[in-house]
Amino acid sequence: MTATRTVDRRIGRILMVGGLVSIALMLAGLLIYAAHGHPQAREIVRVIHNREAGRAVDVFTSLGDVRRALAQRPPDPLAVTALGLVCLLVTPVLGVAAAVVGFLRVGDRDYALIAGVVLAMLLASFALAAGG
Amino acid sequence: MSPLAFVAAIFATSVLAGGAGALLGLGGGILLIPVLTLVFGVDLHYAMGASIVSVIATSSGAAAAYLKTSLSNVRIGLFLALATVAGALVGAALAGVVPTRLLQLLLGVALAYSTVATLRQIRIELPEPTEADPLALRFGLEGVYYDAVLDRDVKYRAMRVAQGFAAMLGAGLLSGLLGIGSGAFKVLAMDHFMRLPMKVSTATSNFMIGITSAASAGIYFARGDIHPLLAAPVAIGVLVGAAAGTRLMARLRNTTIRKAFLPILGWLAVSMILRGLGLWLP
């Protein structure tokens, strides 16, 4: 039971850190955006209500989009928020990766394998999404 | 509504959705999508993108706390995630080939039956132990948690593992095919088939929904359905709400959680049957 608790805590820590880092980035982005007088906010809210009204320029669809917007001087605050969202989306995957390592460390090969197969399927689904 | 008021209202709604999701083992999509589209008039695509973010936020926010208190069972979660993730992959590949409406109708009928079955066990605080399931013994699908309400350690072991695994495969398949979250089905399979304590079922479902949703989150992001100005207040609100929900869970009975879960199950059954009959679209 102690070995299981060690793995539990390791995964729990990853999920908590992932959540906190995501919140910090998202909040920072939103606050900087608000401090800049939230340019075009009304327009953005209109698009959130009806996507057909126009493609939102502030929606990021790839990591490259986010990186480019962060590289601007000054960086796009909504890109900081988007980076927080990306951190949140990959947190469960990191949790499963932590499970693989954790079970290997406590010598539980069965569950290291099970977690490894789940991780492989998740990565395959990412690859399929990127290809599709 | 001014942009600031819009963001504030979305945040407040998300705190509630996160709290309910953490207690009931759901991602909150079932609660959030109707509110975002019907009350706030949000475009359905963005509402669905925000919903997938909310599922992962609920999972991360709640599972971190549940893992610490051993309410989430990682072994059971990963063992069953094999079935749900595989099912979701196959389901996504079959989307467009299988008649969706017939599936929704069948699913609605199955859920209506489950609602009645859950109603029958509504007063059962902890399931009676029966003969050990060989698969549960082989894979160590058991655990112990401290129940603050009962003021004692509760030991449990999964029963009818094969049925539970098959139900999870079905849940994953349907979530891939229909693009719906499957937190409610996961809770149902663990509570109904595997006879785990209700708190363990919802807490383990919370751990699992993040994993299953991560598989499809990339697709929503690449499609441009995740709008930062909508998804970020949702995610922050849900994370805060989920953390609060985990504190409340410790003080509730298993039967109370099951009673709160029942209307969600009934609502799902009705909405699936109506969609299957082509009477309701969202």
Q: Which residue, among A89, A108, A122, would best test binding to B if mutated, counting the most B CBs under 10 Å from its CB?
A: A89
Report how many Cβ contacts below 8 Å link chain A to chain B: 193
Q: What is the pLDDT of residue B107?
A: 77
Q: Which residue, among A23, A32, A33, A59, would best test binding to B if mutated, counting the most B CBs under 10 Å from its CB?
A: A59
B157 pLDDT above the threshold of 90:
yes
Assigned domain for B245 exists: yes
Give the domain extent around B217: 3-276
Residue A35's CB: how many other CB atoms inside 10 A? 9
Contact B175, B212 (CB under 8 A): yes
Q: With contacts defined as CB-CB under 8 Å, which chain B residues touch A29?
A: 228, 232
Assigned domain for B16 exists: yes
Q: What is the pLDDT of residue B183?
A: 81
Assigned domain for B281 exists: no
User: Contact A84/B232, CB-based, under 8 Å?
Assistant: yes
Q: What is the pLDDT of residue B70?
A: 87
Q: What is the pLDDT of residue B29?
A: 73
Q: What is the mean pLDDT of chain B?
A: 85
User: Contact A78/B228, CB-based, under 8 Å?
Assistant: yes
Domains of chain A, residue spans: 2-131
Q: What is the pLDDT of residue A105?
A: 93
The Cα of A73 is separated from the nearest Cα of chain B by a number of Å equal to 20
- pLDDT tens per residue across span B221-277: 887 888 888 999 999 999 999 989 988 888 888 888 888 888 888 888 888 888 888
How does residue B200 score in pLDDT terms, banded at 50, 70 and 90?
very high
How does residue A116 score in pLDDT terms, banded at 50, 70 and 90?
very high
DSSP, residue by residue, B117-144? HHHHTTT-SSPPP-SPPHHHHHTT-EEE
For A115, B53, B275, the CA distances from B262, given in Å and listed in that order, are 31, 25, 20
B38 pLDDT above the threshold of 90:
no
Say if A15 is an interface residue toward chain B (CB within 8 Å).
yes
- pLDDT tens per residue across span B120-142: 777 778 877 777 889 999 999 99
Assigned domain for B282 exists: no
The Cα of B214 is separated from the nearest Cα of chain A by a number of Å equal to 6
Dihedral (CA of B65, B67, B73, B75) sign: positive
Q: What is the pLDDT of residue B156?
A: 93
Q: With contacts defined as CB-CB under 8 Å, which chain A residues touch B210?
A: 15, 91-92, 95
Distance from C-alpha of A100 to C-alpha of B205, rounded to nearest angstrom? 19
User: Contact B61/A19, CB-based, under 8 Å?
Assistant: yes
User: Contact A11/B74, CB-based, under 8 Å?
Assistant: yes
For A87, A88, B29, B59, B164, the CA distances from B56, given in Å and listed in that order, are 11, 7, 11, 5, 23
Three-class SS of residue A113?
Answer: helix
Of residues B225 and B281, which shows the higher confidence score? Answer: B225
Q: With contacts defined as CB-CB under 8 Å, which chain A residues touch B22?
A: none
Q: Which residue of A has its CA nearest to B37?
A: A49
Q: What is the pLDDT of residue B93?
A: 77
**Cα A3 to the chain's mean position, in Å?**
29
Q: Which residue, among B56, B165, B204, B223, would best test binding to A if mutated, counting the most A CBs under 10 Å from its CB?
A: B56
Distance from C-alpha of B124 to C-alpha of B9, rounded to nearest angstrom? 38
Of B239, B76, B86, give the one whose Cα is nearest residue B161: B76
User: Contact B139/A110, CB-based, under 8 Å?
Assistant: yes
User: Contact B78/A115, CB-based, under 8 Å?
Assistant: yes
Q: What is the pLDDT of residue B212?
A: 85
Assigned domain for B26 exists: yes
Rounded mean pLDDT of B216-224? 80
Interface of A with B in 55-94 (CB under 8 A): 55-56, 58-62, 78, 81-82, 84-86, 88-93
Rounded mean pLDDT of A90-112? 94
Rounded mean pLDDT of A73-102? 92
Environment class of B274 (CB within 10 Å of its CB; exposed 0-12, middle 13-18, buried 19+): middle
Which of B143, B222, B231 comes nearest A129 by C-beta?
Answer: B222
On the CB side of B128, how many CA atoms lie within 13 Å of its CA?
Answer: 4
DSSP, residue by residue, A32-70? HHHHTT-TTHHHHHHHHH-GGG---TT---SHHHHHHHH
Q: What is the pLDDT of residue B99?
A: 78
Say if A99 is an interface residue toward chain B (CB within 8 Å).
yes
Q: What is the pLDDT of residue A73?
A: 84
B282 pLDDT above the threshold of 60:
no
Assigned domain for B19 exists: yes
**Region for B28 from its dihedrals, namely left if φ exceeds 0, alpha if ψ lies in -120 to 50, beta otherwise:** left
Q: With contacts defined as CB-CB under 8 Å, which chain A residues touch B51?
A: none
Contact A122, B215 (CB under 8 A): yes
